[in-house]
Amino acid sequence: MTKPVVAIVGRPNVGKSTIFNRIVGERVAIVEDMPGVTRDRIYSKGEWLNREFNLIDTGGIELGDEPLLVQMRAQAELAIKEADVIIFIVNGREGITGADQEVAKLLFRSDKPVVLGVNKIDNPDMQEELYEFYSLGMDTPYPISGSHGLGLGDLLDDVIKHFPDEEEDPYDEDTIRISLIGRPNVGKSSIVNAMLGEERVIVSNIPGTTRDAIDTPFTQDDQDYVLIDTAGMRKRGKVYEATEKYSVLRSLKAIERSNVVLVVINAEEGLIEQDKKIAGYAHEAGRAVVIVVNKWDAVAKDDKTMKNFETKLREELLFLTYAPILFVSAKTKQRLHTVLPMVKKVSENHHLRVPTNVLNDMIMDAVAMNPTPTDKGKRLKINYVTQVAVEPPTFVFFVNEPELMHFSYERFLENRLRATFDFEGTPIKIFARKKNA
């Protein structure tokens, strides 16, 4: 189900990013320290009282050379459009500024729930500074300190009270949900239209649970699918055209509702940084992934062009080595017939469960081929392996000392799992746990 979206808004230098990092904790750091994973994040997952949500740091949305006030207003407008709840941060030591009042007016007109956090209130003696902020017209101002983590609990208690009710999933569990993500103008809508054989995106218009997504259910070869298309959006003016980062916010919600994500890349332009960022979110969400290179008909080719393009993609997207690459043209329908069979295959791999006895036999064979590593005279011993989840396949290795499971050996084990059981198109998670005595 789609998680609620919370946005942090406020003028510069009020501590938005510090509070963002406090709320998401260690989650803001990408777990896999691999080349090709971009690090400048405006989004991460947060959790409070067992309620998960997506958190946006609007301070990370830059609009080139625009003046500061224009940027600030644009960031607030983005938050208003995308968020279910807005955290409005002001600086308690500086009092209310004209910029604070500008942001407050925008938020007040939005009709979205707004929770006011007065930052940099580091000690009880400063509580009197709060009264001034009632004049902004918000409900209770919460005294907080991002740098010390004070008061955030009360603020988040209020935030989660405003979360929308969880919606029922309208599709049964055998339906494969497919989202198409990518930068604007890579041809997502064209692929949807061509796959459906229709001149329009909407076949049966079921509003998605995400704003601005169009769900298109259809059946092929007795398999039910839903296409979650985020491409056919209304134009929203210069603010949204000016920031490539906005396409990330659009993609996040579609990814969450998907089983399989089609990462669409424009063959004429090749891979750019924004493509890597969007693909990284699909990977981190643990979804099955297929890379679709569209507009292949428009590329001048010889017998090495496809191979060279694929090699470059693999070098740039090292965290997606498992994802198949399809070269298609929505315009000419070249190789478009290969997309759905691949979607079905990677979805099956995403759900694949390996019997425990088969899994352990395979791991023991792998260890015999490449013995476990040693560190300071101690050797890693794998006692037992079990698969604890699917979507994505997740394996727990019970070992004598988890810290002896080096990254390189974990990668070797993952490669052996992939070679034995396929797993094309799906990430695999591996955890080492200490075996109880």
Binding site per annotation, positions: 10-17, 57-61, 119-122, 182-189, 229-233, 294-297
Q: Which amino acid is at 348?
A: E
Contacts of the segment 171-174: beta carbons below 8 A, 24+ positions apart: 171/217, 171/224, 171/226, 172/224, 174/224
Taking the C-alpha atoms of residue 117 and residue 138, their distance in angstroms, rounded to an integer, is: 10
* Residues β-bridged to residue 90: 118
| Closest C-alpha to 145, from 331, 14, 300 | 14
Q: Decide if 323 contacts 290 (C-beta within 8 A).
A: yes
Taking the C-alpha atoms of residue 166 and residue 164, their distance in angstroms, rounded to an integer, is: 6
Q: How many residues does the chain have?
A: 437
Alpha helices in 179-324 (DSSP H): 188-196, 238-242, 245-256, 273-284, 305-316
Taking the C-alpha atoms of residue 112 and residue 104, their distance in angstroms, rounded to an integer, is: 12
Phi, psi of 219 (to 5 degrees): -125, 135
Q: Decide if 147 contacts 119 (C-beta within 8 A).
A: no
Q: Decide if 246 contacts 61 (C-beta within 8 A).
A: yes
In the annotated binding site for GTP, the residues are: 10-17, 57-61, 119-122, 182-189, 229-233, 294-297
Both tokens assigned to 314: 């693999």
Consecutive H or E run containing 56? strand 51-57
* Residues β-bridged to residue 327: 293
Cis peptide before 373 (omega within 30 of 0): no
DSSP codes, 57-118:
EGGG---TT--HHHHHHHHHHHHHHH-SEEEEEEETTT---HHHHHHHHHHHHHTS-EEEEE
Residues 6 or more apart whose Cβ sits within 8 Å of residue 382 = 363, 367, 372, 397, 398, 399
* Residues β-bridged to residue 9: 88
Both tokens assigned to 244: 């490539």
Taking the C-alpha atoms of residue 119 and residue 143, their distance in angstroms, rounded to an integer, is: 6
Tell me how far CA of residue 123 lies from CA of 10, 20, 126, 127, 129, in angstroms: 22, 21, 6, 8, 11
Q: Which amino acid is at 233?
A: M
Both tokens assigned to 185: 């103008």
